Amino acid sequence: MARELSVVVPTRNEAASIDPFLAALSPALEGMDAEVIFVDDSSDDTPAVVERHAAVSSIPVRVRHRPAGERADGLGGAVKLGFEAAEGGLIAVMDVDLQHPPGLLRPMVEAMRSDADLVIGSRFTGGAGVGDFGLVRRAVSRVSSTLARVLFPTRLRQVTDPMSGYFLVRREVLAVGELRPHGFKILLEVLVRSGPLRVAEVPYTFGERVAGTSKASLREGWNYLVHLLRLRLGLGGAKPGALVPRDERERVGDIGIGVARVVE
């Protein structure tokens, strides 16, 4: 029998975050049939730290460590592996650094029970916030989200934060075999490749990192732009044009040229 919830947590060199994360997550999962799956791309002792906690945790905890040669698809690929390993009927994705508050999981599960397929922790809906983001990071986040909504106006009509790394999805609607993630942004893949979804959002404020350092970089920004255009064109595992309605596809040339000018 399937569990109620699997929590998928991608990690890379986050050994110092494991203890505070699990300490905060455990009460959030109290009374739920849940498991935690760490999918790890670390070169430090993160897997060993997780295994030590797994031996004494009241919640089932697993770790899947990916060797160096299997990490080319980045965080998104790690999350996809977590999807494949998950036993829950609901699958949550969140970061280990506590910038995604574990206490939001229960309201997200409640929102899922109101007939949603996907619940997104949003930084841009009512009462939400981006915490201590600087002006540049705020602008980049807003522009990235806006660009995604411009390229996919139908699929993202209900979504204020398509770049969120914190979400909950029903296993049954996930087209895992169609996902072709590259880099950080797996939610956009789910929204575009899994077909029309009933989406709900729960507001939250992006917290301070409890330990470690951010993995964001200029390369990840470039990867995002390239991946966004590949999704728009229907490349990377789907038939070209199969992902969006015809009237939206007709605008792809102009939009692609505009994006190219932005990143020059």
pLDDT of residue 183: 67
- The gap from C-alpha 188 to its chain's centroid, in whole angstroms, comes to 8
pLDDT of residue 85: 97
pLDDT of residue 141: 73
Burial (CB count <10 Å: 0-12, 13-18, 19+), residue 181: buried
Q: Residue 258: inside a domain, yes or no?
A: no
Q: Residue 243: inside a domain, yes or no?
A: no
pLDDT of residue 77: 94
Q: Residue 87: inside a domain, yes or no?
A: yes
Q: Residue 206: inside a domain, yes or no?
A: yes
Q: Residue 219: inside a domain, yes or no?
A: no
**Calpha distance 106→239 (Å, rounded):** 37
**Calpha distance 63→14 (Å, rounded):** 13
| DSSP-assigned letter for residue 67 | P
pLDDT of residue 220: 62
- Walking along the chain (264 residues) 10 residues at a time, the average pLDDT comes out as 92 96 96 98 96 95 95 91 98 96 97 94 82 63 83 90 94 92 82 91 84 57 76 58 40 38 32
Residue 132: partners with Cβ closer than 8 Å, 6 or more residues away:
208
The CATH number of the domain holding residue 116 is 3.90.550.10
First to last CA, the chain: 52
- Please give the order of strands across the beta sheet that includes 199-203: 61-65, 34-40, 3-11, 88-93, 167-170, 118-122, 199-203
Whether 83 and 91 have beta carbons less than 8 Å apart is answered as: yes
Number of domains the chain contains: 1
Range of the domain at 173: 3-137+158-211
Q: Residue 220: inside a domain, yes or no?
A: no
Partners of 258 in beta bridges? none
pLDDT of residue 36: 99
Q: Residue 182: inside a domain, yes or no?
A: yes
Q: Residue 149: inside a domain, yes or no?
A: no
